[in-house]
């Protein structure tokens, strides 16, 4: 990690858990969204591609949630954290919970998050937290593939037909405002960076921007102007969409309290 770390700086356990949940919940919520696509993709190969990404993200979420539960030390398993937390306790980026929309919306959402996760996991591989570094090292390989898939589709749609160009530019314009949250550091992000557990978000944002701009140029798409920041999913303040997503996700665990599956 480049801007690292006064050795010996520590972060309180509840804050480390919240930091893990930000990463875990983004993967979990995005996997849940991608799961909605299975069986409904524009062609079999795309159906399989989205399902693959969903599986990887779910795998990442499980490792991170299990770790968060252990670190927390209150006996909560990955499932307790996924199925029995309330909406305000979910700390995913607001972008991840946005509805699937059409295939273009899904690809834009995926591309923006893939590029973010790739930068993030690359940095986390040298985290002062060895367990997190280990999870990041596994996730980074998967994320490279996700970004290849979403970038290739973004370029095809952006540089395909007039219709596809117009649609996907519209998706980009709609989803862009949600990206600001990813790089806008709050006190938790700053503490994590100072301790060398996670990256400086400003630097992460600059690397992300360069990567995104290169693909947008190839896709003949215009980068939308920055818009005022108003999303704080990572602090538990979500858009209207997360409640419904969790109602689906948590339905059985909530209906059959204490049952084992």
Partner 1 sequence: MYTQGLLEQGSKTVTVAAVEDAERLQRFEAKIDAEEKIEPKDWMPDAYRQTLIRQISQHAHSEIVGMLPEGNWITRAPTLLRKSILIAKVQDEGGHGAYLYSAAETLGISRAEMIDQLLAGKAKYSSIFNYPTLSWADIGAIGWLVDGAAIMNQIPLCRCSYGPYARAMIRICKEESFHQRQGYDIMLKLARGTVGQRRMAQDALDRWWWPSLMMFGPPDGASQHTALSVRWKIKRFTNDELRQKFVDFTVPQAKFLDISVPDPDMRWDEAAGQHRFGEINWAEFHEVLKGNGPCNRERLTARRNAHDAGRWVREAAAAYAAKHTARSVAAA
What is the binding site for partner 1 (CB under 8 A)?
A: 28, 32, 35-36, 38-48, 51-52, 54-55, 58-59, 61-62, 65, 78-79, 82-83, 102-104, 155-157, 159-161, 163-164, 167, 248-249, 251-253, 256, 258-261
Shortest Å distance, C-beta 39 to partner 1: 4
Of 18 and 62, nearer to partner 1 (C-beta) is 62
Of 163 and 186, nearer to partner 1 (C-beta) is 163
Two tokens, residue 105: 């919306």
Of 46 and 72, nearer to partner 1 (C-beta) is 46
Distance CA 10, CA 110 (A): 33
DSSP symbol at 226: P
Residue 202: CB atoms within 10 Å: 13
Q: What is the dihedral of CA 72, 232, 148, 61, to 10 degrees?
A: 20
Shortest Å distance, C-beta 167 to partner 1: 7
Shortest Å distance, C-beta 200 to partner 1: 31
- In the chain, count H helices and then E strands: 11, 0
Of 32 and 117, nearer to partner 1 (C-beta) is 32
Residues 57/27, Cβ–Cβ less than 8 Å? yes
């Amino acid at each position: 990690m480049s801007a690292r770390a006064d050795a010996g700086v520590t972060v309180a356990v509840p804050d480390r858990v919240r930091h893990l949940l930000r990463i875990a919940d983004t993967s979990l919520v995005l996997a849940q969204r991608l799961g909605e696509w299975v069986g409904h993709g524009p062609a079999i190969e795309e159906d399989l591609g989205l399902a693959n990404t969903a599986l990887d993200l779910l795998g990442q979420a499980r490792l991170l949630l299990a770790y968060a539960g252990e670190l927390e030390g209150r006996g909560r398993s990955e499932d307790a954290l996924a199925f029995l937390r309330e909406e305000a306790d979910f700390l995913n980026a607001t972008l991840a919970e946005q509805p699937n929309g059409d295939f273009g919306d899904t690809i834009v959402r995926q591309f923006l998050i893939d590029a973010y996760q790739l930068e993030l996991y690359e940095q986390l591989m040298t985290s002062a937290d060895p367990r997190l570094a280990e999870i990041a090292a596994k996730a980074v390989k998967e994320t490279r593939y996700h970004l290849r898939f979403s970038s290739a589709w973004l370029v095809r749609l952006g540089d395909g037909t007039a219709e596809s160009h117009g649609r996907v530019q519209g998706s980009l314009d709609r989803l862009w405002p949600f990206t600001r949250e990813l790089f806008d550091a709050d006190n938790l992000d700053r503490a994590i960076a100072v301790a060398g557990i996670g990256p400086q978000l400003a630097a992460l944002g600059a690397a992300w921007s360069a990567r995104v701009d290169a693909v947008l140029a190839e896709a003949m798409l215009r980068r939308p102007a920055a818009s005022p920041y108003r999303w704080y999913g990572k602090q538990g303040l979500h858009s209207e969409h997360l409640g419904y997503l969790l109602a689906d996700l948590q339905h059985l665990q909530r209906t059959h309290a204490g049952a084992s599956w």
